[in-house]
Amino acid sequence: MPAAETTKGDQWYFTVKPKDGTTFRTQQTSPTVTIQNTPSSISGVKIAPDPANKHDTLTANSTNPNDDDGDTITYTYQGQI
């Protein structure tokens, strides 16, 4: 099944019934797994003002934020000189 066909929180398992060409054996069931979160993404960060001066307050905004699960996206910023 393609990943696009799953949803966060879905629970999946599979079963196998082996056969040696003649006889079926006991059906086996895998452990259940829960589909986890899809990571959020952004395409970049825009810093303003640009150009900046020594005493300007800089702001950073993400461009094209996306979360396939519809979760709220939060950000952590770290500046470096």
Closest CA relative to residue 39, chosen from 79, 14, 73: 73
Q: How far apart are CA 1 and CA 4, in angstroms?
A: 8
pTM of the predicted structure, to 2 decimals: 0.49
The per-residue pLDDT for range 14-40, each reduced to its tens digit, is 999 999 999 999 999 999 999 998 889
Mean pLDDT of 47-65: 91
Q: How far apart are CA 24 and CA 43, in angstroms?
A: 52
- Position 49 scores a pLDDT of 95
DSSP 28: E
Phi first, then psi: give them for residue 3, nearest 5 degrees. -55, -30
Mean pLDDT of 8-19: 94
- Position 71 scores a pLDDT of 87
Q: How far apart are CA 67 and CA 47, in angstroms?
A: 22
